[in-house]
A and B are shown apart, each in its own frame.
Chain A
Amino acid sequence: MMEIAWIVPLFPLFSFFFLLAVGKKMKETSAYVGILMTLLSFLLSLAVLFDRLGGSTYKAEHVWLTIGSVKLTAGFAVTALNAWMLVVVSLVSFLVHIYSKGYMHGDERFSVFYAYLGLFTFAMLGLVLSPNLLQTYVFWELVGLGSFLLIGFYFYKEEAKAAAKKAFIMTRIGDVGFFIGMILLFWQVGSFAYDDIFRAAEDGTLSQTMVTLTAILIFIGAVGKSGQFPLHTWLPDAMEGPTPVSALIHAATMVAAGVYLVAALFPLYEASETAMLTVAVVGGFTALFAATIGLVQTDIKRVLAYSTVSQLGYMMLALGSGSYVAGIFHLTTHAFFKALLFLAAGSVIHAVHTQDIEKMGGLWRKMPLTGPLFLIGTLAISGVPLFSGFFSKDEILVAAWTHGHVALFWIAVVTAFFTAFYMFRLFFLVFGGEKRHDEKDVHEAPAVMTLPMIVLAVLAVAAGYVHTPWFGTFLGDWLTDGAYAHETAPGWIMAVATAVSLLGIFLAWLMYGKRSLARDWLSSRVPYTYSLLWNKYYIDELYMRTVGYAATAISLLLSYIDRFVVEGIARLIAATVHTSASLGSRMQNGQVQMYGAVTFVGLALLVVILAFTGGYL
């Protein structure tokens, strides 16, 4: 099966082209094309995964381009990581495809939506299969394009347009780092292939400084894509896109691409202490930073967006702490429970037509399926024991502790507390208490939307058991080819993690569930902190005041240069082209004598030059 793994991305690609061509006529039946194609992708991915479980890494490469002595290859690889990611991506994509049939029902550009989803899924699967940096980069940009198109899907909304633009530009800043890192590696190693790069990092072909430099540059790309501080601001804004898109792209798959990239290049990072530390610090800081913002936001999707940023920070922290397995494990569980949360949020939005949690409330009874499903997701992300998030978060805490990052460990613990708090704040405000919305006819979402959520809920619980300290570390053993280091973690870590998560839930219950604690008992005492958080640390404003104004000033200057200098030159060039064109066609007067004369004049000129230069130019 592994030999034909390259077919996996082709199904959604077909769906993209097919729907682009005939989607208009098919209207809402286009959904079936998309669903069928992603189902095929998923089944094949599953087959590939099973094949890989018993086998070893498969790699196929062909020379794509030869330039001088440099050969560029293209191909695909099925490593443990790739096979695993294939399944995660195709499964979530498949479920989101089904869900969207209900969510996007009645949209005028229904088939276009499915076409874009196909393009994105193709790019994401292609990214996962890439065996070299160049190919990764191509697909990296393609997923960016898919994300851009889908964030701006409601392009008639100003906010959506601005958000799409912002996402594109912010991630592009990171991509520049990635690109420079990639070119540097190619320059030093002479190849884009992962294997060659790892070999060079190992045998010292790459100097220590170069390893650190390139690893950090590529990490900047990951920072942009995975919404890490300081390039995180695009991700919350990206919530302007349709909610299934937020679930697929901005929670489960694309934003995890940054984490995946660092994981795929893990041997390179391992070769540099500095790079590892950078990854860990940025991840830990982002985790706490985003969690604090999440405490006070009132838009349901934005709270989830900040929690995504925060959880991605966790994954980076895990990778930076040297635990490849913990990072990928959390990526997986997060993909499931966060997709679940987003889809459930979509179902809520679908029902009450608002995203403001202050205007929701009392939905537990009205939505008998969505409520419990959302609760499962919330429990999972809060790290309540027996849910998947508990195991993966525990793994990260252990990694941070055993790797000696004491400060980062405690940051992660505090973050876990905040996470539990803001997630249950969200839960109680949306589902508990009294009805605060004006929607009269609130009803549960159709089965086509609830079914994918149920599947995800099962996974949000079950996915944790592939790797637990109690029943066996299957995922870790397999991902590391049996070399998984069974670190004896101090037992108190698990106890602390459980305690802070329960504490967070309890506090949220007191404030928003039972309401025995006034909602503003804390915020009224620290109004400045509150407004700081409410305004997301003024990061957007900071960018606007510094980079924004500087850019405006520079752009004003440049526009003058453009108008008077560049345009002047351009006009000159255009005029030259025009003159030479008309001159040329005037010479072309149809008389063959003229043509002969031109030849002789040309020849004579050449000979004269030869004579004057004493024989040679």
Chain B
Amino acid sequence: MSMHTLLQYKWSMMTPEFIVLITALILSLADLWMPNDKNRRPLAWIAVVGVVIALIATAGLIPAKPVSILYDTFRIDSFSKAFKLLVLAGGALCLLLALDYRPKEGLSHRGEFYYLLLCALLGAMIMASSGDLITLFVGLELLSVSSYILAGIRKTSAQSNESALKYVISGGIATAITLFGMSYIFGLTGTTNLKEMAFEVQKLADSNYQYLLALAFLLLLVGLSFKISSVPFHMWAPDVYQGAPTPVTAFLSVVSKTAGFVILLRLFITIFAAAPAHGKDPSSLLLSMQNYIAVLAGLTMIIGNTVALRQRSMKRLFAYSSIAHAGYLLVGFAAMSWVMIDSIWFYLLAYVLMNVGAFAIIQRLSDEADSDDMIHFAGLYQRNPLLAVSMGIFLLSLAGIPGTAGFIGKLNIFLGALMTEPGHYMLAAVMIATTVVSYVYYFGVFVQIFFRPADEAASVKLPVGLTVTVVLCAFGTLLFGIFPSLAYQVLAQFEHFGDFLQ
């Protein structure tokens, strides 16, 4: 590659990535040169500002035409822009959580904590934009490796260490399965470029090749189910979520999951939608394998929601709840209606808001007590009514009660499942039934907050970072619940992601 071609690329399209990268570099250098006894919390503000600027830059790129640079390995289409907005928003909110993270024993590696979060975020952004298996995998690993370290950043906490180790091992297995699946596709098509792959798989008329491709489909589905914590690769989530520092838990459940869905949609729609098949629906392999996704979605919803019933630890409860939400999102995918990406995007938006908001409050209460047992929520209403009401809003939204963003998100996915021909009635029924089950555990927390007496009388004070997070999240949850059209206006600019395959 000559200097000339290198300069010809529209590097400006990568502005958001550069901003996050530079912020991460600044933070690491600052951390290096700062005296050891200096407080590193202000660094978090730099990180937040960097991410917010990147968010604005991404929003500025929305009107731009889809572009593909670096030999089609890096794409900026409406899909990548839309989901980058989500991961950046989620990342900024998680950084605000990290700003006010105060574990009992203190945090000796605060500098690393912040710039590793940025690195992980960068990985998620690269995943959203990659047009090649190699860049995609690099992004995935950047996200994963950073997350492994983040999970264990509390070096002296046994729980945190256990969490990190389990995460590394599970992640290793997932990576192996994913790569195995990718190798099949590479073998069948002879290329790593997604666009060329889509072109090549169309020619696979031999049913044996199609069989191999179906095998690759399952391998990728299982491998990627790690990132989105869905069945059969969901069991790591409760242990890792519980042991990891709360901002990292929030990050894993929101940003990492979003990135997981990004890569899932990108790979499956580009490659498998183009492949011919000879099964139920011969027009495309993706459609004929639809039922596998549907079954896994159903199992994910059932397992997530039922096992959550038995949890006393808030972080474990939210781990199962996050598994359940992955199930709802998979319903949106399995239905494959024409509003699929729109409904998943909206749901993830709602999920970012309500979940990070809830984690902010969990963080505050569990840091104080050095335990995340549900009992510490008892009587929150007496200790801080506004905080209790905010948590109430997040819980109602997570449960999908009308008036909140969670409801609109669920409604979209639900209607999407019924909209297709034939409709996915079973899946919709399972979704409704498990949602009802979820009321039990969400309202269990509700009861603690509003109807149980408090152990301590001391009112709960919220530090500034968490306050900003809670206010933003509660506001957004209600705003998009009452005026969903605001989010649709944003979505409308992406025109149903028509440039996905261009």
B and A form one assembly: yes
B-contacting residues of A (Cβ < 8 Å)? 62-68, 577-578, 580-582, 584-585, 587-588, 590, 592, 594-596, 598-599, 601-603, 606-607, 609-610, 615-617
24 contacts between A and B (CB under 8 A): A63-B485, A64-B485, A65-B408, A66-B485, A578-B309, A580-B302, A581-B309, A582-B310, A584-B303, A587-B235, A588-B307, A595-B170, A598-B235, A599-B232, A599-B235, A601-B232, A602-B222, A603-B232, A607-B215, A610-B218, A615-B278, A616-B280, A616-B289, A617-B291
| CB <8 Å contact, B339 and A68 | yes
Given contacts A596-B173, A603-B219, A615-B278, contact A67 B415 (CB under 8 A): yes
B281-295, CB < 8 A from A:
288-289, 291-292
* Residues of chain A contacted by B238 (CB below 8 angstroms): 588
CB contact between A617 and one of B177, B292, B310 (< 8 Å): that residue: B292
Q: Chain A residue with minimal CB distance to B316?
A: A588
| CB <8 Å contact, A615 and B210 | yes
Q: How would residues 223 to 266 of chain B score, 1 for a CB under 8 Å from any chain A CB and 0 otherwise?
A: 00010000111011011000000000000000000000000000
Given contacts A65-B484, A584-B303, A584-B307, contact A615 B279 (CB under 8 A): yes
Besides the known contacts A68-B415, A588-B307, A610-B214, 5 further A-B residue pairs in the complex with CB atoms under 8 A apart: A63-B485, A578-B309, A581-B306, A582-B310, A617-B288
* Residues of chain B contacted by A577 (CB below 8 angstroms): 306, 309, 437
- Indicate if B166 sits at the interface (CB-CB under 8 A): yes
* Residues of chain B contacted by A65 (CB below 8 angstroms): 408, 484-485
* Residues of chain A contacted by B215 (CB below 8 angstroms): 607, 610
Given contacts A615-B207, A615-B279, A616-B278, contact A599 B233 (CB under 8 A): yes
Interface size class of B (residues with CB under 8 A): 35 or more
Top 4 A-B residue pairs of the complex, sorted by shortest distance between their CB atoms: A616-B279, A602-B232, A584-B307, A595-B235
CB contact between A603 and one of B165, B210, B222, B411 (< 8 Å): that residue: B222
* Residues of chain A contacted by B232 (CB below 8 angstroms): 598-599, 601-603
| CB <8 Å contact, A615 and B214 | yes
* Residues of chain B contacted by A595 (CB below 8 angstroms): 166, 170, 235-236
Complex Cα distance, B233 from A65, in Å, reads 35
| CB <8 Å contact, B214 and A581 | no
Complex Cα distance, B173 from A599, in Å, reads 9
* Residues of chain A contacted by B306 (CB below 8 angstroms): 577, 580-581, 584
A223 to chain B, nearest CB (A): 29
Q: How would residues 150 to 181 of chain B score, 1 for a CB under 8 Å from any chain A CB and 0 otherwise?
A: 00000000000000011001100110010000
| CB <8 Å contact, B485 and A588 | no
Complex Cα distance, B305 from A584, in Å, reads 10
Complex Cα distance, B332 from A229, in Å, reads 49
Q: Chain B residue with minimal CB distance to A603?
A: B222
| CB <8 Å contact, B288 and A616 | yes
- Indicate if B211 sits at the interface (CB-CB under 8 A): yes
Complex Cα distance, B43 from A50, in Å, reads 60
Q: How many A-B residue contacts, CB cutoff 8 Å?
A: 105
Q: Chain A residue with minimal CB distance to B434?
A: A577
A-contacting residues of B (Cβ < 8 Å)? 165-166, 169-170, 173-174, 177, 207, 210-211, 214-215, 218-219, 221-222, 226, 231-233, 235-236, 238-239, 277-280, 288-289, 291-292, 302-303, 306-307, 309-310, 339, 408, 411-412, 415, 419, 437, 483-485, 488
Complex Cα distance, B243 from A590, in Å, reads 12
B465 to chain A, nearest CB (A): 29
Complex Cα distance, B485 from A63, in Å, reads 6
B171 to chain A, nearest CB (A): 11
| CB <8 Å contact, B307 and A581 | yes
A503 to chain B, nearest CB (A): 57
| CB <8 Å contact, A592 and B236 | yes
CB contact between A606 and one of B207, B222, B236 (< 8 Å): that residue: B222
* Residues of chain A contacted by B177 (CB below 8 angstroms): 599, 603
B166 to chain A, nearest CB (A): 5
* Residues of chain B contacted by A617 (CB below 8 angstroms): 279-280, 288-289, 291-292
* Residues of chain B contacted by A602 (CB below 8 angstroms): 222, 231-233
* Residues of chain A contacted by B218 (CB below 8 angstroms): 603, 606-607, 610
CB contact between A599 and one of B222, B279, B309, B419 (< 8 Å): that residue: B222
* Residues of chain A contacted by B214 (CB below 8 angstroms): 610, 615-616
Complex Cα distance, B165 from A609, in Å, reads 33
Complex Cα distance, B215 from A584, in Å, reads 28
Complex Cα distance, B289 from A606, in Å, reads 11
Complex Cα distance, B451 from A256, in Å, reads 41
| CB <8 Å contact, B339 and A592 | no
* Residues of chain B contacted by A590 (CB below 8 angstroms): 239
| CB <8 Å contact, A606 and B292 | yes
* Residues of chain A contacted by B235 (CB below 8 angstroms): 587-588, 594-595, 598-599
CB contact between A580 and one of B170, B222, B303 (< 8 Å): that residue: B303
Between A66, A584, A594, the greatest number of chain B beta carbons within 10 A of the residue's beta carbon is seen for A584
* Residues of chain B contacted by A598 (CB below 8 angstroms): 232, 235
Q: Chain B residue with minimal CB distance to A616?
A: B279
Complex Cα distance, B162 from A592, in Å, reads 10
B207 to chain A, nearest CB (A): 7
A424 to chain B, nearest CB (A): 52
Complex Cα distance, B323 from A570, in Å, reads 25
Q: Chain A residue with minimal CB distance to B162?
A: A590
B190 to chain A, nearest CB (A): 23
Complex Cα distance, B358 from A331, in Å, reads 51
B134 to chain A, nearest CB (A): 24
B267 to chain A, nearest CB (A): 17
Q: Chain A residue with minimal CB distance to B488?
A: A66
| CB <8 Å contact, B419 and A68 | yes
* Residues of chain A contacted by B292 (CB below 8 angstroms): 606, 609, 617
Q: Chain B residue with minimal CB distance to A580?
A: B306
A20 to chain B, nearest CB (A): 14
A66 to chain B, nearest CB (A): 5
B414 to chain A, nearest CB (A): 10
Q: Chain B residue with minimal CB distance to A577?
A: B306
* Residues of chain A contacted by B169 (CB below 8 angstroms): 592, 596
B5 to chain A, nearest CB (A): 42
* Residues of chain A contacted by B226 (CB below 8 angstroms): 599
Q: Chain B residue with minimal CB distance to A576?
A: B306
Complex Cα distance, B170 from A557, in Å, reads 55
Complex Cα distance, B319 from A585, in Å, reads 13
* Residues of chain A contacted by B419 (CB below 8 angstroms): 68
* Residues of chain B contacted by A594 (CB below 8 angstroms): 235
Complex Cα distance, B231 from A585, in Å, reads 14
B334 to chain A, nearest CB (A): 12
| CB <8 Å contact, B310 and A585 | yes
* Residues of chain A contacted by B221 (CB below 8 angstroms): 606
Q: Chain A residue with minimal CB distance to B174?
A: A599
Between B289, B306, B412, the greatest number of chain A beta carbons within 10 A of the residue's beta carbon is seen for B306
* Residues of chain B contacted by A601 (CB below 8 angstroms): 232
A197 to chain B, nearest CB (A): 22
* Residues of chain A contacted by B211 (CB below 8 angstroms): 615
B153 to chain A, nearest CB (A): 19
B228 to chain A, nearest CB (A): 13
B433 to chain A, nearest CB (A): 9
Q: Chain B residue with minimal CB distance to A73?
A: B485
Given contacts A603-B219, A610-B218, contact A592 B170 (CB under 8 A): yes
Q: Chain A residue with minimal CB distance to B219?
A: A603
Q: Chain B residue with minimal CB distance to A607?
A: B218
Complex Cα distance, B387 from A354, in Å, reads 50
B218 to chain A, nearest CB (A): 5
B230 to chain A, nearest CB (A): 10
Complex Cα distance, B177 from A615, in Å, reads 20
Complex Cα distance, B408 from A67, in Å, reads 10
Complex Cα distance, B415 from A616, in Å, reads 26
B376 to chain A, nearest CB (A): 21
| CB <8 Å contact, A596 and B485 | no
* Residues of chain B contacted by A581 (CB below 8 angstroms): 306-307, 309-310
B417 to chain A, nearest CB (A): 12
B96 to chain A, nearest CB (A): 30
* Residues of chain A contacted by B288 (CB below 8 angstroms): 616-617
| CB <8 Å contact, B484 and A616 | no
